[in-house]
Chain A
Amino acid sequence: MTQYLLRRLLIAVPSLLGISLVLFSVLALAPGDPFGELAANPNVPPEVAAELRRKFGMDDPVLVRYWSWLTAMLQGSWGFSFVSRMDVDLLILQRLPTTLLVIGSSQLLALAIALPVGIYAATRPYSIFDQIASTLAFIGFSLPTFFTGIVLILIFSITLDWLPFVYRADIAETGWRFYWEHFRQMIMPVTVLGLFQAGSWTRYVRSAVLDVIRLDYVTTARSKGLPERVVIAKHVVRNALIPVVTLVALQMPAIFGGAIVTEQIFRVPGIGSLLISAMLANDTPVIMAVTFVFSVLVILCNLLADLLYGWLDPRISYR
C-alpha cells in the first residue's frame, strides 16, 4: 500500500512538470501585457513599463523565465504578483477559505440530495417518485449555473428582496448576526452549485444502485430474511458506491473550474475569481499558481479515488 502510494506520487511528478511547461508556454504565447494599462496612459512614460518589465524579468526568453519559475517553485516560492505586488501564495491563501467554504457546502448539499434521492428512486424504479426525480435531475444538470444564478438573483434579490447577491467575505457584524449574514449570502451560490451537481449525481447514483440491486447476492441477502434496510445499506449501497466515488472524486477539480462562473456572478472572492481577474490583468505568476493548484487537485483527486476503491472493495489490492 505504502509502496503503491509512493509510486503513484512519483509518477505524478513528471505529469506536473509537463503540465507546468504547457501552461507556461501557452501563457507566454498568449497576447497581452500586465503593464499594458500603463503603456496606454499618456502620463506614464514608457520607461516605467520597461523598467517594471525588466524588474519582473519579463524580457527574458521564455525558457529562462520558465526555469526561474520552476526553481523558485521547488524552493517553495510561488512567485510574486505583477499586479498586486505581493506573494502569490498569500493571495491564494486569502481566497482559499471562501472557496472551500462555498464549494465544500455545495458539494455536501449535492451529496445530501443525490444519495437519498438516487437510492430511493432506484429501489422503486419507474414509480412516480422516480419519474419526478429523474425529470428534476435532468433539468438540474441541463441548466448552466450562469443561468440559474441569474434566475435566483432575479427572484430572491430583486423581486422578493430577501437575499443579497453580492458576497462579502469580510462581514463586519459580530455574534449571531455574523453567522446569519454569512448563511444568507451563501444560500444562492451554494444552491446554484449544489443543485447542478446534485442533478447529475442523482442520475448516476440511481443507475449504479439499479445495476447492483438486480444481482443474485442481493436476492440471497433478501432470502436470508435480512430486513430491507440492511440489504440496501450494507449490501447494495456499499457496492454501488464504488463508481460513484470515482465520479465524485474525479469531478472535484471540474467543480473548482465550474465554480469560476458562479463566483463571478455572486462576486464570491474565491480562487476562481482570482484566476479570472489575473487573466484579465495578464498577471502570469498568479495564473500559473492557480492553474497549477488546479492540476495538483486533479492528480490528487485521481489518487484519492483509487485509494477509496480499495477501502470500499477489499478485493482490489494495490501492488
Chain B
Amino acid sequence: MRIDDIEHSLRAQIEEVRAGKLSRKAFLQGMVHAGLTVPMAAQLLMLHGVANAQAYQSTYKATRRGGGGPLRVLWWQGPTLLNPHFATGTKDQDGSRVFYEPLASWDSDGNMVPVLAAEIPSVAGKTLAPDGRWVIWKLKKDVRWHDGRPFTADDVLFNAAYASDPATAAVTVAVYRDIKVSKIDSHTVRLENPGPRPFWADAFVGVNGMLIPKHLFEAYSGAKSRDAPTNLKPVGTGPYKFADFKPGDMVRGIINTDYHEPNRPFFDTIEFKGGGDAVSAARATLQTGEFDFAWNLQVEDEVLQRLEAGGKGQARIYLGGNIEFMQLNSADPWSELEGERAHPKSRHPILNDPAVRSAMAMLVDKDSVQKFIYGRTGIATANFLNNPSRFVSKNLKYEFNPDKAASVLEAAGWKRGTDGVRVKDNKRLKFVYQTSINAPRQKTQQVVKQAAAKAGIDLELKSVAASVFFSSDVANPDTYTKFFCDVQMYTTTMTQPDPERFMDQFLSNLAASKANKWQGRNITRWVNAEYDKIFAAAEMEMDPVKRAALFVRMNDLAVGDYTVIPVVARPRVAGVANRLNAPTSAWDSDMWMLKDWYREV
C-alpha cells in the first residue's frame, strides 16, 4: 500500500515537471521530502525523458588558459599510487583524477555531467535502452592524451578489458566484468549489460570510470600490470600533466595547454601535498592559508569554527550518504552454533525482543550528539538512507525518551533488579557496545550509556583500535564484520549515488559468517523475507519512481525493525580558501571538477 502511494505521487509530479507546471528544482525538493535522494530523483526525471537541464552548470569565469599561478591542495593522507584501477582509497582516486578523466562525473545532486563524453545517453536520444540493457556513449572528438595521441573508442574498450581481467586484480573489476563493450565507430561505443539495469551508469562514470590510455598500458595488462611504469607516471587527458610523484608525499602537475575545453585550466601548476593529520591540514587552509584546499577534514566542528576564525578559508560541508549508526546484533554473539559465534542462523536471546530493540532506539539522544559532539559535521537523522534525496523516507521519526523506554520494557516484563538493571527469566539487560577508538565515538557511547542506565539497561563500553576494528583480519575477534558483541557503532559509506550497493547490507543471503570469511555485507545478520523480496524487485525495477519507492520501503523496514539505529548523517568536509572557486560533490572525487577551479579576483 505504502509503496503504491509513494509511487503514485511521484508519477503525478514527474508529469507536472514534464508539462512545465512544476520546476525541476521544486520536484527534486519534493522528492527529498518524499524520502528519495537527489541523484535518484534526477535520474527519475532523465529516465522519463525530462531533460537533465539543471545538472551542474559551470560558473567558470576565467577568459584565458593559465595565468593563475600555483594551486596548492593538501590531503592528509597522500596518494600512494596513480592508477585509478588500483586505487585503494579516495586519496588514490583523487590523485589519479588530476590526470585521468571519466566519460561523465556525478554532480552534487547526483546528476551526470559529461567530461569525455559528448553527451549523456538518454532514452529520448535513442542512446539508452528503456530498460538500461544497453547504453551508447558518444565520445568527445579532438581529445588528446598528454603525449599527443588521440583519445578514441579503442581506449574505452581497452579500459573495460584491462579492468575485467582477474589477473590485473583491478579494484574496478566488479564494474566491468559483466558488461560487454563494443565499438560502433572511432568515437562511439556500445555497452551491454547482462540484464535490465536500473543503475546503468557505473562503468566509465565517476571514480570507477577514469580512463587510462591503451597505447601505454596495453603491454601491461593482466599479470604484468604491476610493472607498468605509467602506474606511477600517468599520461591522461586531464587539465594538468604529470610532473612528479613521491608516493604518500607529493604529486605535482603542470598545466595541459592542449586541454579539450577552452580557457581551462586556470592554474599553471598543481601541488598535491600529502601527509600529517586532519587538524593541521585544516589549520593550513582555514587559518594560515598556506594551502588552497584540504580534503576530508574529520575534525570536531568546534575546532573547525575556531580555525575558520583565522579568516583565510571556510569549511565546506556537503552531504553524501555516509552515516554513523548503531547496529543491534540479530545473531547470538555469546554462544557457538556449529562452532561459530554469531552464526547467522542463531538468534540473539535478548535483542530479539522487539520491546528491547525499540527501547534501545529511544535511548539514543541524537539531537544532543549532533549539538554537542558533531556540530555541522553530523546531522541527526531518523533514516539509514539519507541521500540522494529522492530515496529519503519521510515516514520515520526519531524520539529520545528514556522514560518511555523504561515503560516499554516494564510492559514487556523486564523488571528492575536490586542493582537497577532489568531482568526477565534470569536474563539481564546487559549489552556490550563496541566501536572504534575515535573521540566523538567514545563521547557518543557515553551519551547512550547514561540514558540506557536510566531505563535500566547496562551497557558495557568497548573501544577497539581502528586498525583492528576495520581490518578484515580473519584471526581477530574484534573486527566490525565479525560483530562478536551486542551493539556496535561506526560509519558506513555510500560510494554511489544509487543505493543498490548500499542497501544490500540487509540482505539475508549476504550475512557475514565464517563461510564467507566474514566478508558478507549483512553484518547484523538480520533476516527479513519482505526486505529480500523488495530488494530483488528493485534490482529489476526500471521505473525509477517505483524503484525509489522500493528503496524508501527498504529503509523503513530495516530502521523500523531497529536492526540499525541511525545516529547522525556524516557529510563530507573540505577546507576551501576564501577566493578559490572549487565545486565539490559527495558523489564523486573531490577533484571531479578540477578543470573549473579558479581563483576569484
Contact = CB atoms under 8 A, between A and B. Distances in A.
Interface of A: 31-33, 35-49, 51-52, 55, 80-81, 83-86, 91, 94-95, 153, 157-158, 161, 164-166, 168-170, 172, 264-265, 267, 269, 273-274, 277, 280-282
A289 to B, nearest CB: 14
Given A86-B232, A273-B275, A281 B80 contact: yes
A137 B181 CA distance: 71
Interface stretch (B150-158, B279-287, B347-355): B279-287
Interface stretch (B34-42, B171-179, B543-551): B171-179
Contacts of A45: 173-174
A164 to B, nearest CB: 5
27 contacts: A31-B471, A33-B473, A35-B88, A36-B471, A36-B473, A38-B88, A39-B472, A42-B504, A42-B521, A43-B171, A43-B496, A52-B169, A55-B169, A83-B88, A84-B232, A85-B232, A86-B81, A164-B290, A165-B280, A165-B288, A165-B290, A168-B273, A170-B250, A172-B252, A172-B269, A264-B276, A281-B80
A169 B249 contact: yes
Most buried by B among A32, A55, A264: A32
B49 interface: no
A166 B246 contact: no
B170 interface: yes
Contacts of B78: 277
B519 A46 contact: yes
B74 A42 contact: no
Given A36-B472, A48-B173, A280-B467, A169 B288 contact: no
A84 B269 contact: no
Most buried by A among B78, B247, B290, B291: B247
A83 B274 CA distance: 15
Contacts of A164: 288, 290
B250 A157 contact: no
A95 B250 CA distance: 11
B275 A267 contact: yes
B195 interface: no
Given A37-B89, A40-B472, A43-B495, A84 B81 contact: yes
Nearest to A168: B273
A226 B470 CA distance: 71
B467 A83 contact: no
Contacts of A41: 171, 495
B248 interface: yes
Given A46-B519, A158-B283, A277-B78, 9 more contacts: A42-B501, A44-B171, A51-B166, A86-B81, A86-B247, A94-B247, A95-B249, A166-B291, A169-B250
B472 A277 contact: no
B89 to A, nearest CB: 5
A38 B171 contact: yes
B8 interface: no
Contacts of A35: 88, 472
Interface string B140-153: 00000000000000
Shortest 6 CB-CB contacts between residues of A and residues of B: A39-B472, A269-B249, A84-B247, A51-B169, A267-B276, A36-B471
B244 A170 contact: yes
B476 interface: yes
B246 A94 contact: yes
A157 B283 CA distance: 10
Nearest to A98: B249
Interface in B43-81: 70, 74, 77-78, 80-81
Most buried by B among A38, A85, A153, A269: A85
Nearest to A269: B249
B248 A43 contact: no
A1 B282 CA distance: 56
Most buried by B among A37, A42, A86, A91: A42
A48 B171 contact: yes
A283 B4 CA distance: 52
